[in-house]
Amino acid sequence: TRQEDPTLRRLKRVVTPLPAPKMMDLPQFQGEHKESLYWGTYRPHVYLGIRARTPRSLISGLMWIGIKNGQYFLRHVCQDSDELSTYGWRDHNGRDYGHQLIVDQGFSFITSFLKEKKEGSAYGGDWAVRLDLQNTRSDLHKAEDGTVHFFFYVADEEGNTLGVQRQKFESRDATLLAFGTRNDIGGWELHLDSQKHLDTHFAGFKTIHMHNLTELVQGTLAFHARRTGQLQLPDTIEDSSNVIVTQISTTLPAKFDIAFISGTNMKGARADERINGLTGAMLSTRLEEKQKEFEDKYIKCFNLKDKTDSDPMLVGRAAIGNLLGGVGYFYGQSKIALPEGFTQENGDKFISYWPAALFTAVPSRSFFPRGFLWDEGFHQLIIGRWDVHLSMDIIGHWLDLINIDGWIPREQILGAEALSKVPAEFVLQYPTNGNPPTLFLVLRDLLNGIKMRKFSAQETKEVTDFLNRAYIRLNTWFQWFNSTQSGKDGHTFYWHGRDNTTTKELNPKTLTSGLDDYPRASHPNDEEHHLDLRCWMLLAADCMNSIAELLKVEDSVAEDYHRMSKQLSDFRKLNQIHLDNGSGAYFDFGLHAEKVRLRWHQVKSQDNVQKELVRETLETPQLKLVPHLGYVSLFPFMMGIIPPESPVLQKQLELISNRSTLWTDYGVRSLSRTSSLYMKRNTEHDPPYWRGPIWINMNYMILSALHHYSQEDGPYKTTAEKIYGDLRSNLIRNIVRNYYETGFLWEQYDQKNKGKGKGARPFTGWTSLVLLMMAETYPSLRR
C-alpha cells in the first residue's frame, strides 16, 4: 500500500471522525447525568447482565441450568434455541429499576434490578439483583432431586485480580461472594443474602475472552462432574483470576438477593448499612416503591387512563419495559470493507473504524442485540416520550459516530461479544451504504416539543443546546445523502449500491433502504428514482430547515434547506415523477421488466456440474414506473405530502383499505397481493421478507398519516377516520393476541395464517410502537 494512492486516501477519510465538538462532551451529559447512568442492565444479549458505561467495565451476569429431554443446558446468552416460554423486562425505567420475568421449562423466576447511591457509595452507586424462583410444574426436575442451579458471575474486563471469600460476618446476614478494586469505583464487594439455606460453590478464572464465559463455566462443570459425579463448581480459583463465578443451588421456591457495593475501601464506607438496605425486607420495600412509581409514570406518560382495557395495557408495559431494559452499552470498532480487490498487508479485507462507544436500544435481544441506525429512530419515538434526557444521550452517541464524509455505519457491531453474535458475511460495513435517516423523526418531535412548550425551561435549554451542537453533524449527514444518493435529474434520489451484475436474485436487494427485498426496478442503474428516499430527504430537509429557524441560522445553507423542503414537497412535481395515473398509486421509477423468473440452470465448473437458480428476463426492460404496490407506494401519504382535498388522497385510502391489495385483519401488508413479486423468494436461500408480511414500523407511519388526515378538514376526513380506527384496533388486537399466545412481540406478523408472529422474537424494537398506537401518540407530520 502506497501513501499517494487515492483509494487509500479515501479510506483514511472513511475512518476519520468528523472534526466537530462531540455531542457527548456537552455539559448536559456530564456530572450527575453521566453518573446516574453509570451502572445498568446494559448487556441486552444476556438474560441478565449488568455493566457500567465505560469501555472496560466490571461486568456481571446470570446463568442457570435448564433441562430439556433429560439433557442439561446452560442458559446465559439470549438464544432462540433455548426455547424459553417467555423472557423480557415487564418493567424497566431505563435507569435504576427493572423487573423481568423468565419462564423456563418447569420453573419461572423474576429478576429484579435496583440501583441507588447512598452515603459511602463510590461513583455510580450500588446495585442489587433479586431472584425470585417459583415452581410452575410439580414434576419438575424429577430426573434429579429437584435442585436448581444458578450461577452469578463478576468479571473485570480490565483484568484486575478478584478475590473470593465465602465468609459470613457476625454482624450481618449476607455472605461475601467476591471483591476487588478498580480505578473507577475503588474497592467493591458482592454479597449474597437469603432467608433459606443455599448451597454455594465457586470457581475463579483468568481470561480476557468475555464472550466465552458460557463455554468456560460449562467446561468446568462437565470436567468436575466427570471426576466427582457432582454438578458443582470446584471451589478453586486460578492465579490472578479476574472472573469469579458463584454457583447457587437450591430447591424451589426460593428467593435470594445479590448486593453490589462500591467504595468499600473508603473511610465511612458504611458497608453493613448499605448491604442491609439492598437486601431482604428493605429491598422488598424499595422494589415495591419503584414498581408503583413505574406504573404511575407509564399510565401518565402514555395517557393510558381509560384508553384501553387491561390486556393491551400489560403488553404495552412489556413493550416499553423490554425496550428500555434492552438498552445496551457497546464499545469497539466497526469493520469497514475495503474496496473490491484491496487487502491489507496482513491479509485483512477491512479497515477498522475508530474505537467508539455506543449507547443504544436494540431490535431483538436474541437475534440482533446491537444498534441499527434506522431502527433507532423508531425506538427513540418511544424512549423520547419516556425520558428525554436518556433519549438525547442515545441520539448523541449515534451522532458521534459520523465520519468526516457524513456517513454513519448502518449496523453497529462493537466489541467481541457483539461480534460473536454475527455471521461473518454480515460483519463488514460499506461506506457507500446509507440507511433511512429516521432520527429526524425524533428531532422533529423535539423541535415540536419546544414549540408547543412541552418542556420545562431547563429542558428547553438542554434540547436547544443539543440541537445547536447537533446542527453541524446533521448538516454533514444530510450532505452525505444529498451528494452520494442523488439521481440524474435534479431533486431525485435513489439508494445507491444495488447490485446490477447479479444473475441470482429475482430482484436485486436494496438493504440500504431498510426494506431489504422490497421489489424495485428489475435492472438497477443510475436513472432510478426511489420514492421512499425522496420522502426521507423531504423529512430531513424540512427538519433541518426548522432547526435552522430555531437556532436563527440565516446563511445560504439554511436557505437551501428551505428551498429544498419546498421543492421536495411540491405536489405537482412529485406526481409528475412518481404518480401512476392509471392506478392512482405512487411508484418508484427505473429500468424495469415485469416478466422475470428464477429457473434452474446447469453450471459447469471445472469437473463438476451443479444446478443453480438463475434469473431469466423475458422482456426488454424499459424506463418506467415500477408497478409494485406496497409500503414504498405509501410514503407520500405517510409523510403527509398529499393535500387533504386531493382525490389522490382518496385513492391512497382505497388502496390501503382494499383487501385484494393491502388490507388484512392484522395490519397493512408490505406488498400488495396483486404485485408480481408478492411472497416470491428472491433466491434459493432468501424467503420473502418485505414482500407481504406485516411490519409494525411502517404500519405505525400509516396510522400516523390516517390520524393526521382524520383531523384535517376535507372530503375524505371521515373515511380516514374510519380506516384509522379499524387499522388501529386490528394492529393492537393482533399484536396483543400473539403476545398472550406466544409470550413475545415479533419482528413481523403473517398477513395470512391468522396474523401469526414471524421472524425474530422477542422483537421489542419497533414492534414496541404498539404502545404509541395505544396511546394514540404520533409524530407530527410536516404541513
Residues taking part in catalysis: 516, 747
Q: Which of 293, 426, 503, 559 binds ligand 6A9 (CB under 6 A)?
A: 426
363 vs 636, beta carbon nearer ligand 6A9: 363
Q: Which of 44, 325, 363, 755 binds ligand 6A9 (CB under 6 A)?
A: 363
Give yes or no for residue 422 binding ligand 6A9 (CB under 6 A): yes
Should residue 686 be labelled a site residue for ligand 6A9 when binding is judged by CB under 6 A? no
What single DSSP character describes residue 605? E
Give the whole-angstrom CA distance, residue 548 versus residue 540. 12
Q: Are 59 and 45 in contact (CB under 8 A)?
A: no
Nearest distance in Å: CB 51, ligand 6A9: 22
Q: How far apart are CA 267 and CA 119, in angstroms?
A: 11
CA-only gyration radius of the chain, Å = 27
Query: Burial level of 610, CB count in 10 A (0-12/13-18/19+)?
Result: exposed
Residue with Cβ nearer ligand 6A9 (214 or 780): 214
* Cβ 759 to ligand 6A9 shortest distance, Å: 8
Cell of 772: 404509541
Contact status: 635 vs ligand 6A9 (CB under 6 A): no
CB distance 530 to 515 below 8 Å: no
Closest to ligand 6A9 by CB, 123 or 367: 367
**Residue number, 268 or 423, with CB nearest to ligand 6A9:** 423
User: Which C-beta is closer to ligand 6A9: that of 200 or that of 748?
Assistant: 748
Identity of the residue, 260 or 678, whose beta carbon is nearer to ligand 6A9 in the bound complex: 678
Q: Which stretch binds ligand 6A9 (CB under 6 A): 110-118, 382-390, 420-428, 529-537?
A: 420-428
- Minimum distance, C-beta of residue 514 to ligand 6A9, in the bound complex (Å): 4
514 binds ligand 6A9 (CB under 6 A): yes
Q: Which stretch binds ligand 6A9 (CB under 6 A): 263-271, 341-349, 368-376, 698-706?
A: 368-376
8 A C-beta contact, residue 390 and residue 397: no
Q: Which is nearer to ligand 6A9, 516 or 594 (CB)?
A: 516
Site map (CB under 6 A) of ligand 6A9, residues 377-416, x = contact = ----------------------------------------
User: Which of 363, 487 has the CB closer to ligand 6A9?
Assistant: 363
Task: Figure out which of the listed residues 423, 453, 458, 552 binds ligand 6A9, where binding follows CB under 6 A.
Answer: 423
The reply on whether position 762 binds ligand 6A9 by CB under 6 A is: no
Interatomic CA distance for residues 427 and 348, integer angstroms:
13
Please name which of 148, 134, 172 lies closest in space to residue 279, comparing C-alpha atoms: 172
85: left (phi over 0), alpha (psi -120 to 50) or beta: alpha
Instruction: Count the site residues for ligand 6A9 by CB under 6 A.
Output: 12
Q: Give min distance, CB of 35 to ligand 6A9, in A.
A: 32
Segments of 402-478 assigned E as strands:
411-412
How near is the Cβ of 373 to ligand 6A9 at its closest, in Å? 8
Buried b (16+ CB within 10 A) or exposed e, 113-123: bbbbbeebbbe
Minimum Å distance from CB 727 to ligand 6A9?
21
Counting every residue, how long is the chain? 783
Q: How far is the CB of 654 from ligand 6A9 (least distance, A)?
A: 27
Contact (CB, 8 A) for 369 and 78: yes
Site for ligand 6A9 in 473-492 (CB under 6 A): none
Per CB under 6 A, which of residues 331..350 are in contact with ligand 6A9?
A: none
In this complex, which beta carbon is closest to ligand 6A9, that of residue 604 or of residue 685? 685
Cis bond upstream, residue 363 (ω within 30) = no
Report the residue number, 271 or 515, with the smaller CB distance to ligand 6A9: 515
Q: What angle do CA 504, 508, 510 make, to 5 degrees?
A: 145
**Using CB under 6 A, which of 372, 398, 663, 700 touches ligand 6A9?**
372
Q: Is 428 in the site for ligand 6A9 (CB under 6 A)?
A: no
State the amino acid at position 677 in one-letter form. Answer: L
Which residues does 666 contact at the CB level (< 8 Å), separation at least 6? 694, 730, 731, 734, 749, 750, 751, 754, 755
Closest among 523, 533, 565 to 548, alpha carbons compared: 565
Which of these segments, 166-174, 307-315, 422-430, 572-580, binds ligand 6A9 (CB under 6 A)? Answer: 422-430
Beta-bridged to residue 688, according to DSSP, are none
Least CB distance from residue 656 to ligand 6A9, whole Å? 21
Region from 167-175, 372-380, 679-687, 732-740 binding ligand 6A9, contact rule CB under 6 A: 372-380
| 419-427, 488-496, 560-568, 734-742 -> range binding ligand 6A9 (CB under 6 A) | 419-427
Based on the shown chain and the rule CB under 6 A, indicate whether residue 516 belongs to the binding site for ligand 6A9: yes
Using alpha carbons, list the distances in angstroms from residue 467 to 455, 470, 547: 15, 5, 7
Is the distance from CB of 505 to CB of 540 less than 8 angstroms?
A: no
Distance of closest approach, residue 304 Cβ to ligand 6A9, in angstroms: 27
Alpha helices in 646-758 (DSSP H): 647-657, 696-711, 717-742
Q: Supply angle C-alpha 298, 381, 534, rounded to 5.
A: 160
Query: Using CB under 6 A, which of the segments 110-118, 124-132, 367-375, 731-739 binds ligand 6A9?
Result: 367-375
Cβ closest to ligand 6A9, residue 511 vs residue 614: 511
Out of 73, 342, 350, 367, the only residue in the binding site for ligand 6A9 (CB under 6 A) is 367
Residue 108, phi then psi, degrees to nearest 5: -135, 155
Count Cβ atoms below 10 Å from residue 264 Cβ, excluding itself.
Answer: 22
Q: Give the binding range for ligand 6A9 (CB under 6 A) out of 149-157, 229-237, 299-307, 366-374.
A: 366-374
**What is the b/e burial string over 373-411, where b = at least 16 CB atoms within 10 angstroms of the residue's CB?**
bbbbbbbbbbbbbbbbbbbbbbbbbbbbbbbebbbbbbb
How far does CA 473 lie from the centroid of its chain?
22
At 482, give phi and psi (nearest 5°): -60, -35
Report which DSSP code applies to 695.
-
Tell me the closest approach of the beta carbon of residue 632 to ligand 6A9, in angstroms: 13
Bridge partners (DSSP) listed for residue 391: none
Q: How far is the CB of 213 from ligand 6A9 (least distance, A)?
A: 19
Cβ distance to ligand 6A9 smaller for residue 375 or 750: 375
Q: Does 273 bind ligand 6A9 (CB under 6 A)?
A: no
Nearest distance in Å: CB 160, ligand 6A9: 33
CA–CA distance, 317 with 486 (Å, rounded to integer): 42
Q: Which of 156, 189, 257, 375 binds ligand 6A9 (CB under 6 A)?
A: 375
Question: Does residue 374 bind ligand 6A9 (CB under 6 A)?
Answer: yes
Task: Report the 3 state secondary structure along 380-421.
Answer: HHHHHHHCHHHHHHHHHHHHCCCECCCCCCCEECCCHHHHCC
Contact residues for ligand 6A9, defined by CB under 6 A: 363, 367-368, 372, 374-375, 422-423, 426, 514, 516, 765
